[in-house]
Structure 1
């Protein structure tokens, strides 16, 4: 299986290019339709999109094995949340690729009686579950990094404010000792207060600023988050859960494909593990 995984990894860049071309055709077809192009041109673009989709399915015949191997590696992660999210996401990807292989057999005529709509819906459901888990993993890692960055900022401020200052009675910095005849003041009543709107707005700005710092300092996490956000539009639209139209689907698919190609060209941009 390891030999097949190594062989299959060499074709990932070609599959990503075909994916980019497929969604570029989707976006082009939508644009031409809105522009009032002729029916022949629209049919040509649609056929080209269909050919690209079929070619991609052929290139992904061995991706289920690669996803299972990735799930096996993720089982040994020390962090329980990452272990759960990554393992189950890879298993859902394996099922998604398996359904995609069955669809390829149906489209090529090897399984002429195959219910393609049913298997397509099943495939997109597995794809959606995998993307939800991947986004959960991204949100978890962002939360950890934001908490770490907040602690670092807090400790830096504490070290700056810990400089000793000499207190003298002349400048009034030392508290005066109350006389013995004075009656002790009662302790103040603690009344719970509700944060005001400006306070909530300040906290929100601080969190947004902290999020920007974390994402700017972690390009692999930023790219993975953007890619998953673009990809999740596709199954939501195809399953009818949140229809957005072919134009938006084509744009999101093209953007996520370009981001995937970047991670292949520059492996350090790929989120690990």
Structure 2
């Protein structure tokens, strides 16, 4: 209960709840439309989704400044790759949130002349770049941990005897075995690092949203809603349980 109270006391936590509810509404509306529900019911659920979207934008006012501060902290990291990925990721997130704030102002009537489509596309481009940086950071961390794990296992393992040549059939089996070993290594690394696993899953789910909105990968509204809901639930989990948040 204490962790839930601390979670709901944070504006980021409340925004994640609104986000989960928004994408849940979108998924329900899509399901109702596919099942042949009445247009009035579908319209009501879509209106609920729009209100939730507007509400969560309110919670994100000022978050672009927080993202800039995070970028300033990340620029002092000793690891060059992590410094680049995290800093650039936060900078793109700051630009994305800034565009999102402008869109909120346009929707509530504070900026009536704002070109909503133009700024929405610009916002999703920054969002996509931020996610690419996040996934690049995840890939770098996975590669480093896998290399460390393989090195540790090679020290305690025994080396197989080297043979002169291998038949073509044996080489295919050797290649399949190598691939299976790499997949097993990847699974062990992710299983041993829950924060990294959750971050990979969350970023992969989020990636479908800007790709669809920018027309780079056309899916269905149901897929986008499901991915948004899944990433929101994972975000809620990492906020409510700080040890699951990937650091730095």
TM-score (norm 2): 0.92
Note the alpha carbon deviations across 1:13-60, whole angstroms, 9 max, x for none.
100000000000110011000000111101101100000110111110
**How far apart are 1:192 and its partner, in Å?**
11
Matches for 1:164-175 after TM superposition, within 5 Å: none
SS at match of 1:243: coil
The aligned counterpart of 2:3 is none
SS at match of 2:157: helix
SS at match of 2:21: helix
The separation in 2 between residues aligned to 1:106 and 1:11, in whole angstroms, is 22
The aligned counterpart of 1:133 is 133
- Say whether residues 1:42 and 2:42 are aligned partners: yes
The separation in 1 between residues aligned to 2:239 and 2:21, in whole angstroms, is 17
**How far apart are 1:191 and its partner, in Å?**
9.0
The separation in 2 between residues aligned to 1:264 and 1:155, in whole angstroms, is 38
The separation in 2 between residues aligned to 1:43 and 1:215, in whole angstroms, is 42
The aligned counterpart of 1:266 is 241
SS at match of 1:196: helix
Note the alpha carbon deviations across 1:183-228, whole angstroms, 9 max, x for none.
xxxxxxx999988221111110000000000000000000000000
Larger radius of gyration: 1
- Say whether residues 1:68 and 2:68 are aligned partners: yes
Matches for 1:1-273 after TM superposition, within 5 Å: 10-158=10-158, 196-273=171-248
SS at match of 1:27: helix
Moved over 4 A (4+): 190-195
The separation in 2 between residues aligned to 1:84 and 1:102, in whole angstroms, is 27
The separation in 2 between residues aligned to 1:39 and 1:157, in whole angstroms, is 64
The structure richer in helix per residue is: 2
**How far apart are 1:113 and its partner, in Å?**
1.2
The separation in 2 between residues aligned to 1:191 and 1:265, in whole angstroms, is 56
Report how many residues are paired: 236
The separation in 1 between residues aligned to 2:61 and 2:219, in whole angstroms, is 29
The separation in 1 between residues aligned to 2:222 and 2:166, in whole angstroms, is 51
TM-score (norm 1): 0.83
Aligned-pair RMSD on alpha carbons? 1.8
SS at match of 1:225: helix
Note the alpha carbon deviations across 1:136-179, whole angstroms, 9 max, x for none.
00000000000000000000115x99xxxxxxxxxxxxxxxxxx
Note the alpha carbon deviations across 1:215-270, whole angstroms, 9 max, x for none.
00000000000000000000000111001111000100000000000011100000
The separation in 1 between residues aligned to 2:103 and 2:214, in whole angstroms, is 16
SS at match of 2:247: coil
Mark the runs of 5 or more structure 1 residues left unpaired by the alignment: 1-8, 162-189
